[in-house]
Each structure stands twice: as structure tokens, then as C-alpha cells.
Structure 1
Amino acid sequence: MFKFKIVVFFLMISAIGFSQPADTLLVKKPKIDIDTFYRTQFSVFDTLVKKNDTIFIRPITVEPKMVLQDSVLTSFSAGNVHQVVLSTFEVTKRNKNSDLAYFLIPKPEGMVYDRTPRANSQILYDALSPVRSEMSFWKKTNTLGLDINQGTFSNWNAGGFSSISGIVKGDFSRNYERGRTIWVNELKVRYGLNKQENLELRKTDDVLNINSSFGYKTSVKSNWYYSAKVTLNTQMANGYAYPNVEVPISRAFAPAYLFAGIGSEYSKNNFKAYISPLTLKSTLVLDDALANSGAFGLEGGIFDANGNLLQPGKKSRNELGFLFTTEWNKNIMSNVNLKNNLTLYTDYLNNFGNIDIDWQLQLEMKINSLLKATLGGHLIYDDDIKNKRDVDGVQITEGPRVQFKQLLSVGLVYNF
């Protein structure tokens, strides 16, 4: 009964995001669906467009708003008299991007036109602004970084070991936004190594993250998007329970976590929250040895008494559950930025109510255009991930543990 109440609670939260108000654009016109035409064909930089017998005027932008006028010409039985129906639309630009909303201001106004000219100005209907060819609905960002930490000791009475470590980072995004549609694509990679005196080269960081989300909202007045999201998290190199470097405890795409779901996303200013009542989580272990050992919650292989493999282990495990994520990106000072990302997931079918947590908190302090200091922490809890450590040269497996990583670094950053 308790689990049923929790499921109902999650579904009620999800319903909030799906109950968006809808903008209406009610214009009765022959042959032309005005709602479809404005939503699919309209561009800020068009001056005039002719559709069949109707000419749509594109006035200049006035601050965040502009006005469109639409006319419909209807012939009467009398050959020299026509009826013209004028409609006025207010077009609102959301923030500083190209998200447009269309609102019919007054009711369509009818007037009789007797073919007498009222103005002597003329604009070619197919004229386009030259700015149009230079604009794109795509926005891209590329960031490369290198952090280096180094310490050297020679005859130092207080003791110490010389060491050097570095992390290479890359953040790339390709975002499409047009009207009420948004498509966000992100790629994040990090790889770090440490070399300490008298010790082998050790990995300190290894991240490969791909995120793609598609959203659409029915009203510019709403901060909610109908959304579909796909996320892949994995690593690029072997991981070890040091000092044991003979048996890897993880490899590239072993594990890999794939999330795919539909839901609703709330976005306002620097804050985003995504709610998905239906998200598929796939755990992939594309390595025979790790799959056969039953690593990362997968069903392991079957061995005989002599250790011979009789049946290989599963290389994937699927779950269906509830996903909640938040992103908060805030400039707390002119040169200090705080990023807070939280992901919560629970499986409906297996051990419902047990929550997987992925929480990242990062403070970026910009020194100048090329130098940046970063202080961050990363916390993970997943009861399918068992802790492994080396004891007297023997690798032992323990129960799940809270994983925590803290980093303080100063390095170079290049944006292009």
C-alpha cells in the first residue's frame, strides 16, 4: 500500500508538467490554416510573404514585440466591390532568443474596399532581409581546458613526495531553438592522470557524458516543456583498485549507463527541473571478464568447480522507473559561477523506493579570459555498484558505498 501511494505521488507531480496552457489562434480563412502557417513558416527577418492570394506583412521589430497584419480579400457578386477582413497579431519574443508567440489582439475587422487606392507605397512580396542568410537557429559552444598540479621536494626535512597531475577537459554543445521547440545536445569529456614519486601512473578522472534532450511547449506563457531525454554516462580507460593494476575493476563501456525517457521539463532563468514518470535505465557491461563476474548488478556467469565458464554472464540490465533531475547555474559574483546538478532515479519493478543519487557541485572562479580555478565535488550512490579494494594483494568485494570525489584545480580554458 505504501509503494502504491508513492507511485501515485510521482504521477501527480508529473501531471503538473503536462498540464500546460495552450495559446489559441482562431482565424477563419479559406484555403489557409493560419495557425499552421505562422508556426511553421514565419521568420523574424522576412519582410513580406505571399501565400496564394494573401500577403502577410512583416513589420520591423520594436523592442521585444512587433505587430503583424493579415488580410483576407473576398469578392462579392457586384464586380467592383470587395470585402477585406483585417486581423492584427502581436508577436512576442521570449527573452533574447527566437521563441515566438502569436496572439490575436482584436477580433477580425471587416471593411468594404471599392478598389480606390488608399496609399501609393509598394513592397515586393518576395523581398527578404539580407540579415536572414547570416542567422541560424543553432548555437554552439566549445570549451577546452587543462588543469595541472605539481609539487617537488628535494632534501625536504618535513618530508614529502614529488608529484605531478593533470586533467584534460572538453565541453561541447549544439543547441537548436526555434519558436517553441528546443533541442539541446551536449558532450562532456574529462581525463586525468597522476604521477607520484615511487608509484605507478594512476588515473584520477575519467568521464564521457553525452546528453540530448528535445522539448516543445504549447504556450509561450508557460515555463514547462514536453520533453524527451537521452543520456549516456561511461568512461574511456581501465580503472583499478590501486595498487593492484593487474585486474581492472572497470573498462570503457563497462559500465555504461543509458537513460531514455519522456516527461516534462521546467525551465526558468538559470534553473531547470526535469520530471519523467517513464524512464528506461540500461546498465551495460561490454567486457567479458566483468560481465562474467556479475559486476555492477548484472547476472554473472556460471562456472564449474574448476572455474571453467559454463554460461556467460549478462552484459546488460534494464530498469523502468522514475527520473528527476535539476540543474542550477548561477553567477554568484561577477567572476564566480556556481553549478549544481542533481539526478535521482528509482526503479518501479526492482526494489522500488531505493534511490540512485548522482550529485555534482562545482564552483568556478574566473581569473581572466584564459585562467580559471575550479573547486568541485561529486557524490554517487548506487546499490548495484559494489565497492572493491585491495587487501594484501588480494582484491575483495564489499557492499555498496557512497562514492565521493573532491577536486581543486587551476588551469587554462579556451573557448571557441
Structure 2
Amino acid sequence: MMKQLLFTAIVAIGAATTFAQDAEVKRLKDESNKTIKKEPEQKEGWTKGGVFNLNLSQGASKNWAAGAEKFSFSVNALANTFAYYKKGRNAWDNTLNVQYGIVNATSIGTRKNDDRIDLLSRYGYQLGDTAKSRWYVSALVNLRTQMTTGYNYTVEPKEKNSNFFAPAYLLVSPGILYKPNAAFDVFLSPVTSRWVIVNAANKDIRRLFNFTDTTKGSINEIGAFLTANLKKDLAKNISLTSRLDLFSNYKNNPQNIDVFWTNTLGFKVNKYIGVSYNFDLIYDHDVKNVKTGGLLGTQLKSLLGIGFTATF
């Protein structure tokens, strides 16, 4: 009896294993036969849109044994907009990214935790066959700054380290653009002019941005520049916007490449509720630490929020 049961169990396991293997082989064949989905081509005329996020959070405690803030409140707003134009061989892309956030807590008072204005405009003229070519002769202008005063809170008293147009980065760059579809592109320029601007109202912090002559309002840098952009729907309700800028200053330590990498990942729960995650990485060899006077090093910032979201 035991031999029969054992034989039956072995046969059943073998049959199940064979079936599972057959199913797996069939799945792999089906996967290999699937057609790869191509990204859509950019449409003729204007393509406009954007996303707006408003995230709020609040907390309170009283006699909490584990320790907690008595009161905390934060608000973060983000608006990413774009306007793309294409007609024949001409392509004109414009993006505007505005972010701002503040946090208030009993122990630290009110501080901002996000602040950015980033405007980019790029024109390209398509080379070769308009139906096949993905290459453009191109030029772009980019302006980055912030809205309000920033402080270093690691020193006492706090010390101002940034403000509106202090700094501002203005970049003018002719180059070559590779744009295979509407979701991804890479721009490369061997000769780019960049200005680091700190206005007269904030001349006291020019030293933090490598101004050897603090009587001047700007520094001009010449170098190589690359920017890569990705704007893609990862799933039905998940979108990713990513941009990577690399700049090498020929005049000063060209081996030290400045990096600006910004990412926004959006999860849409329903029409008006969404989750957003922002991750930024900045490395600028010329920016100094307020506290030590040495190089600031790699700057990292991330924000996770749940709140109102609108796509338009």
C-alpha cells in the first residue's frame, strides 16, 4: 500500500513539474514573440501640459513618552509645465519647473525645505530625412534660481547662504540634439557659456560661489555641457520625469564635472489624490560650505508627499 501511495505521489509530482515547465516554456515563448512598444513620435503643432501637486501634513502631541514635536506642519507645492512645438524640421521645447515648501515645528520654528525656479527653452532644426532622422542642430537657454532667502542652520546665529538671483545660473548652449521620440532626448554641446549670478543686494554671499572679485555681479564660465531628459509613463497611473545636466568648466578644474540631477515620480491614486516623490542631486565644485569655508560637496534632497494633484 505504501509503495502504491509513494508511486502515485511521484507520478503526481512529476506530472505537476512537467506541466509547470511546459507553462513556463509557453510563457517565455509568448514573451519573446511580443512586439516591443515604441514611444510615440512628437505631434505636429503645440503639445502642452503639466502637473500640479499640493501636499500638506500636520502632527501634534502632548505628554508623549517616546518623544515627539508638540506641533508640526508642512506644505509643499510643485508645478511642472511644458509646451512643445513641432512643425516640419523645426522643434521648440519649453519647460518650467517651480517648487516651494515650508515646514513649521515647535523646536525649530519655520523653515523652507524646497525652493526652485527652473526655466528651459530649446530650439532644434532637424537634419536629414524628416521621416527617419533623429538628429537636430540645436541651441538652448536655461535659467535656474530660487524665490526666497535660504539659511544655514548649522551655525549660530543662522547665516544667509542664498536668495532670489543669489545665485542664479544662466546657460546659453549651441549643440547637437538626439531625439528619438517624444519621451527621451540627449543634448550635447562642446562649447557652452554659463554665468553664475549673485545680485548686488546679496553681494555679501558672493564669496560662497567662488567670486574672486566680489565687486562683480557675475562669473562667466566656458565649458562642455550635456543634458538628458526623460518624461515617461511607467504604468497607467505612474509617471517619471528625470533630467540630468553635466557641465565641465574649461577655465577651472575641467575634470570636476558639475552635476544637476532632478527626478519626480508621481503615483496617481484617483483624479485628485496622488503621491509624489522628488529626489535631487547637485554637485558644484565651486560652492563653499558656510560653516567651514571648504567645498560643500554633494548636495542631496528628497521629498515624499501625499495630497492634491492635478494633471493638465
Distance of aligned partners of 1:186 and 1:95 in 2 relative to their CA distance in 1, 3 Å threshold: closer
- Give the partner amino acid of 1:197: T
Question: Secondary structure of the equivalent of 2:189?
Answer: strand
* 2:145 maps to 1:234: yes
Question: Secondary structure of the equivalent of 1:387?
Answer: coil
* Higher gyration radius (CA): 1
- Give the partner amino acid of 2:148: A
Shift of 1:291: 5.0
Q: Which of 384, 395, 401 is equivalent to 2:297? A: 401
TM-score between the two structures when normalised by the length of structure 1: 0.61
Distance of aligned partners of 1:361 and 1:173 in 2 relative to their CA distance in 1, 3 Å threshold: closer
RMSD across aligned C-alpha pairs, in angstroms? 2.0
Contact 1:170 1:188 in 2 (8 A): yes
Higher mean displacement: 346-355 or 201-210: 346-355
Contact 1:292 1:300 in 2 (8 A): no
| Equivalent residue number for residue 254 of structure 1 | 166
Distance of aligned partners of 1:151 and 1:296 in 2 relative to their CA distance in 1, 3 Å threshold: same
Distance of aligned partners of 1:179 and 1:369 in 2 relative to their CA distance in 1, 3 Å threshold: same
1:48-84 per-position Cα deviation (integer Å, ceiling 9, x unaligned): xxxxxxxxxxxxxxxxxxxxxxxxxxxxxxxxxxxxx
- Give the partner amino acid of 1:369: K
* 2:124 maps to 1:215: yes
| Equivalent residue number for residue 144 of structure 1 | 52
Pairing 1:113-128 to 2, within 5 Å after superposition: none
Work out the CA distance in 1 between the residues paired with 2:170 and 2:180.
Answer: 27
Pairing 1:160-171 to 2, within 5 Å after superposition: 160-161=68-69, 162-171=71-80
* 2:114 maps to 1:205: yes
Asked which structure has the greater RCO (Cα within 8 Å, sep 6+), the reply is 2
Question: Secondary structure of the equivalent of 2:242?
Answer: strand
| Equivalent residue number for residue 347 of structure 1 | 249
Pairing 1:15-414 to 2, within 5 Å after superposition: 95=41, 97-98=43-44, 137-161=45-69, 162-218=71-127, 219-220=129-130, 221-242=132-153, 244=156, 247-269=159-181, 270-290=183-203, 293-301=206-214, 313-389=215-291, 396-414=292-310
Shift of 1:400: 2.7
Work out the CA distance in 2 between the residues paired with 1:186 and 1:261.
Answer: 16
TM-score between the two structures when normalised by the length of structure 2: 0.80
1:338-396 per-position Cα deviation (integer Å, ceiling 9, x unaligned): 3332111101222222200111233211111211111221111101101224xxxxxx4
- Give the partner amino acid of 2:253: N
Shift of 1:182: 1.0
Work out the CA distance in 2 between the residues paired with 1:411 and 1:245.
Answer: 34
Contact 2:152 2:158 in 1 (8 A): no
Q: Give the unaligned 5+ runs of structure 1.
A: 1-93, 99-136, 302-312, 390-395
Which has a greater percent of helix? Answer: 2
| Equivalent residue number for residue 56 of structure 1 | none
- Give the partner amino acid of 1:203: K
Work out the CA distance in 2 between the residues paired with 1:383 and 1:264.
Answer: 26
Work out the CA distance in 2 between the residues paired with 1:205 and 1:214.
Answer: 30
1:298-320 per-position Cα deviation (integer Å, ceiling 9, x unaligned): 1244xxxxxxxxxxx22100011
Question: Secondary structure of the equivalent of 1:388?
Answer: coil
Contact 1:385 1:400 in 2 (8 A): yes
Contact 2:188 2:226 in 1 (8 A): yes
1:105-163 per-position Cα deviation (integer Å, ceiling 9, x unaligned): xxxxxxxxxxxxxxxxxxxxxxxxxxxxxxxx233224332111222222222111131
Q: Number of aligned pairs?
A: 268
Question: Secondary structure of the equivalent of 1:351?
Answer: coil
Of all paired residues, the percent bearing the same amino acid is 34
Shift of 1:404: 0.4
